Structure 1
Amino acid sequence: MRLLLLRHGQTPSNVSGLLDTAAPGPGLTELGTRQAAAVPGALDGVPIDAIVVSSLTRTTLTAAPLAHQRALPAMRIDGLREIEAGRLELAADSDAHRTYLGTAFGWARGDLDRRIPGGPDGHQFLRRFDAALATVAAQGWHTVVAVSHGAAIRAWASARVAGVDLDEVASTPLANTGLFEIDGDQTRGWQLVRWNPDPIGGQELAAADAGDPTGEPAGH
């Protein structure tokens, strides 16, 4: 299966630098709406069998233009949601951001017992995200766009996908509508095809100095 893991478009909480991970979550900003609108053109010519989204509103809104263009429903899979921030929910300070991302990337380095304060440990997060993608793979689709979240995509890909350079991913911002393209399944394993940390619709859709805690580099 070819899986295109796409981060959602920009939200007001990204702009405000808030760790906003609870459901249903915010919608998109004007820029986020333009980022979403650019997705169909960026994926023009790519055969897509299915579109899946998390249970958070921003992923459904991001997927909507592509779903409309391809006449495909956006299937909701709760396990694709963002890593829960626990007691750090809605925190805007840099210490909380470092703790959150440092924990998430710690899981990718093998420290699965490490826990976000009041939130999941690495075992729980990876089990949840693995199960979500197993559900996708079981459908028999060849190419799937999965709209998910900045920290979840980076932590899972760094832990599970061969060919991902953990240090590079941890130190590189993942913009809204940035993309990881991978190939494989839960049985054979996953292999990186490419990743694009910039908005899939082009650099002109990049945010100008947004706080964006779930997309910023770890330790920022």
Structure 2
Amino acid sequence: MINHTNSEDATGKRRRARGLKGLGVALTASALLVMSALPAWAAENMTITFIRHGQSYGNTSGNIDTQVPGPVLTPDGQQQAKDIAAQLGDRNFDAIYASTMVRTQQTAVPLSQYLGLPIQVLPGLQEIEAGKYEGTPERAGLFGYLTAPLAWAGLSVTPPPNISFNPIAPNLDAFIPSAADPTTGLNGHQFEDRVNGALQTIYDNGDRNAAVFSHGGTIMIWTMMNAKNLSAEQKIMLFTQHPLGNTGVVVVEGNPEDGWNLVEWNGVKIAGMQKGPIENVMTQVRTLTRQLNSVVQDVAAAFQTGNVGKILTAINHGAADALFSTAKFVRAINAQVIGGVTTAIDNLQKKLAPPAPAAGTQTTAPTSGAAVSPAAFSTPVAAKAPAAAQAGDSPAKVAEAPASDNKVDGQVKADEAKADADATKAEGQAKADDAKTDADAAKAEGQAKADDAKTKADAKKAAAEAKKAAAKAKAEEKKAAAEAKKAEAKAKADAKKAAAEAKKAKAESAKAAAGAGAGSTD
């Protein structure tokens, strides 16, 4: 028996490369038509991808730490930040937000660098304040700390050692006792208002596909409070079996007016909530359109200044930014749309294949009143691995018998080899196209930098010439002043000399007159 499953999977993927190559263009056109048909009054949906921060020194301390700004990331946490950027980068978010706490901002840095987007710090996303439990060991204080937040989400919890959860009516009046006054503290209304305020700001900014770096408690509790498509039993299952580890991801979709639905929770995808190819393209088209509009606005603003240097710089920067935005769009389409269609086809083929023998018994999720280990109630430190694959996600390896006819077998292999060659050629062409796009973007960026350098050099030269002219004018002014002073001194000397000569002449005239008078007397 020969197992052809792996080679056939690879061959099938490559065979579909040619058929999927033009899919992105067709879907983009369809998305534009759908977007143009939407009523102007409809509240536009947005996707929020919550990302918990990487491991911090607060996590490793084993103590509850919710104070702002809080501790920094550990080396492991920094690596987790890089890993999550690589994992989520091609979702091509249109904005990146982080809480007022240092650990979320540091976790957001690699994604910010990958997408070329700034990190916008937004109040309201910080961790749920622990009140009197701040600084206490998690084992001792976590139950008291989370009792009120769970009540906000409609869950009650029995204390250790036999921890269990039960659904209740949401109680937003419950509060976490503060350290200063145990009779008051953060309640559900205040928590809800501050997170909703942050999401309203994101919506008002026009961002519809934002990455939001926040905290485990804030993400889990707010989601369980607001996800309309979650039952109490599902909340218990997600909270106990899939607690949000460092850099865990929760995705919600909706808007502040109509409410929210859960799409994905720490690797668990909610049935019926996954976007189709056209919806993904619509999101990416909107992001690209906004970024290109921003380029146009920057260039227009430069033209309004009338400064040639600023205009040229804006044009060159705009060209580089437009190419970079287009390259991100292409990556996102390849990753989300074409990759998604390929995965869907693979999953369909796997479901149609004969099932593999059961390897073991599946553990059912806890429901109302289910007992839970105390370990499940502790805050996770390391990132939790995604949930086990669901039905249809793992391929069943089916062994095929070799063909009895050597000629037929040889023809099959020849056909496979030709298909592989064609698919490899198409794949190589796609990579070449991507490389050319990247090269064009790099070239445009390099040209922009060169133009900036030339503009700066021209400005420096003009400044030097102006300085030289000013120095020359100052020297000439000084010379003229000296000559004027010299002329003034000469004029004074001449006047003094003339006055002396006039005085002498007057004296001589008087003397002559006196002599004439004396002669007449004799």
Q: TM-score range by the shorter chain?
A: 0.7 to 0.9
CA distance in 1, matches of 2:228, 2:198: 19
For 1:201, the equivalent position in structure 2 comes to none
For 1:6, the equivalent position in structure 2 comes to 51
Amino acid at match of 1:170: F
Matching residue within 134, 143, 149 for 2:200: 134
CA distance in 2, matches of 1:213, 1:90: 15
Pair 1:163 & 2:229 matched: yes
- CA RMSD for the aligned pairs? 2.0
For 1:86, the equivalent position in structure 2 comes to 131
Q: Give the conservation status (yes or no) of the 8 Å contact 1:52–1:146.
A: yes
CA distance in 2, matches of 1:10, 1:163: 30
Pairs within 5 Å for 1:87-166: 87-109=132-154, 110-118=170-178, 119-164=185-230, 165-166=234-235
Distance apart, 1:44 and its partner CA: 3.4
For 2:265, the equivalent position in structure 1 comes to 195
Pair 1:46 & 2:98 matched: no
Distance apart, 1:169 and its partner CA: 2.8
**Secondary structure of the corresponding residue to residue 213 of structure 2:** strand
Please give the per-residue CA displacement for 1:24-81, whole angstroms capped at 9, x wherever unaligned.
1000011111110112210132121000000000010000000011110010111000
**Secondary structure of the corresponding residue to residue 147 of structure 2:** helix
CA distance in 2, matches of 1:130, 1:214: 24
Size of the alignment, in residue pairs? 205
Give the structure with the higher percent helix. Answer: 2
Question: Against the structure 1 CA distance between its residues 215 and 157, is the aligned structure 2 distance closer, same or farther, given a 3 Å change threshold?
Answer: farther
- TM-score, scaled relative to structure 2: 0.38
For 2:250, the equivalent position in structure 1 comes to 180
CA distance in 2, matches of 1:184, 1:12: 34
CA distance in 2, matches of 1:155, 1:211: 16
Distance apart, 1:13 and its partner CA: 1.3
For 1:205, the equivalent position in structure 2 comes to none
Amino acid at match of 2:72: G
- TM-score, scaled relative to structure 1: 0.87
Q: Which runs of 4+ in 1 moved over 2 A?
A: 162-165, 210-216
Q: Give the conservation status (yes or no) of the 8 Å contact 1:60–1:74.
A: yes
Q: Give the conservation status (yes or no) of the 8 Å contact 2:138–2:379.
A: no
Question: Against the structure 1 CA distance between its residues 143 and 41, is the aligned structure 2 distance closer, same or farther, given a 3 Å change threshold?
Answer: same
Relative contact order higher in (CA < 8 Å, ≥ 6 apart) = 1
CA distance in 2, matches of 1:211, 1:167: 11
Distance apart, 1:173 and its partner CA: 2.1
Pair 1:25 & 2:70 matched: yes
**Secondary structure of the corresponding residue to residue 120 of structure 1:** strand
CA distance in 2, matches of 1:94, 1:114: 22
For 1:61, the equivalent position in structure 2 comes to 106
Distance apart, 1:212 and its partner CA: 9.8
Q: Give the conservation status (yes or no) of the 8 Å contact 2:138–2:378.
A: no
Distance apart, 1:211 and its partner CA: 11
Please give the per-residue CA displacement for 1:97-154, whole angstroms capped at 9, x wherever unaligned.
0111222111111111111110301111111111111111111112000000000100
Larger mean CA deviation between 101-110 and 70-79 belongs to: 101-110
Gaps of 5+ in 1: 199-209
Q: Give the conservation status (yes or no) of the 8 Å contact 1:105–1:170.
A: no
Q: Give the conservation status (yes or no) of the 8 Å contact 2:89–2:111.
A: no
Gaps of 5+ in 2: 1-45, 155-169, 179-184, 269-374, 382-522
CA distance in 2, matches of 1:111, 1:11: 31
Question: Against the structure 1 CA distance between its residues 212 and 92, is the aligned structure 2 distance closer, same or farther, given a 3 Å change threshold?
Answer: farther
Q: Give the conservation status (yes or no) of the 8 Å contact 1:100–1:116.
A: yes
CA distance in 2, matches of 1:190, 1:47: 21
Distance apart, 1:95 and its partner CA: 3.5
Q: Percent identity?
A: 37
CA distance in 2, matches of 1:93, 1:60: 24
Distance apart, 1:88 and its partner CA: 0.9
Give the structure with the higher percent strand. Answer: 1
**Secondary structure of the corresponding residue to residue 90 of structure 1:** coil
Distance apart, 1:174 and its partner CA: 1.0
For 2:471, the equivalent position in structure 1 comes to none
Amino acid at match of 1:124: Q
Distance apart, 1:213 and its partner CA: 5.0
Matching residue within 44, 47, 61 for 1:16: 61
Q: Give the conservation status (yes or no) of the 8 Å contact 2:92–2:115.
A: no
CA distance in 1, matches of 2:228, 2:62: 31
Distance apart, 1:15 and its partner CA: 1.6
